[in-house]
Amino acid sequence: MNSHSSSENSEAYIALGANLGDREATLLEAIHRLNRHPEITILRCSSLYETDPVGYVDQPNFINMALALQTTLEPEQLLTVMLQIELDLGRERHIHWGPRTVDLDLLWMEGRTLDTPRLTLPHPRMHERAFVLVPLAEIVPATETTGLYPYVQHALTSGGGKEGVRLWKECSWPSASGHSAN
């Protein structure tokens, strides 16, 4: 019996960050909300990293992490779900690069390139952000076939660096292997 749906499953990578309130609880709630969506399954979750603010520095440190997920949604549909979760969890956009309860960024989706007013794939600045690359490197397997693994490895060794990114704690999200596949 083939349980494969008519739309194709894509593997997507998301960066998450928070620096207001209970940062860890907010990130875990965002993961739960993503995973509750009928067309999204969380595959892997990086450790949580405490990171220094970039750009607008007069604000608390961030907790950053990355997720790998599987979805039948198109990139812009996935972005819409992510933006709604940000809103539901209290995100307000006042200061560019300013403090936020939660920030979800779609980084990569099956190596697809996209450039619309709402979304650019791959994420245009991820190669210069250690707070994205370090958690991402943890969850991208060397066997990944869409080009993300060499992209991340190259960015980390060519100046992405790891300064200002400190391992904070393991993610308490259950591993994907612990779930039964529907």
Q: Could you tell me the pTM of the whole model?
A: 0.85
State the pLDDT at residue 58.
76
**103 catalytic per annotation:** yes
Whether residue 23 lies inside any domain: the answer is yes
Which CATH number characterizes residue 148's domain?
3.30.70.560
Host domain of residue 92? 10-170
**129 catalytic per annotation:** no
Phi then psi dihedrals of residue 175, to 5 deg? -70, 150
Of the candidates 103, 112, 125, 166, the residue annotated as catalytic is: 103
Sign of CA dihedral 88, 89, 90, 94: negative
* Of residues 34, 35, 71, 64, the one with CA closest to residue 133: 64
Looking at the structure of the chain, the number of domains it has is 1
Of the candidates 93, 100, 112, 166, the residue annotated as catalytic is: 100
Whether residue 136 lies inside any domain: the answer is yes
Task: Give 129-139 pLDDT, tens digit per residue.
Answer: 889 999 999 99
Whether residue 72 lies inside any domain: the answer is yes
CA gap 7, 28 in Å, rounded: 28
Task: Give 32-62 pLDDT, tens digit per residue.
Answer: 999 999 999 999 999 999 988 777 667 788 8
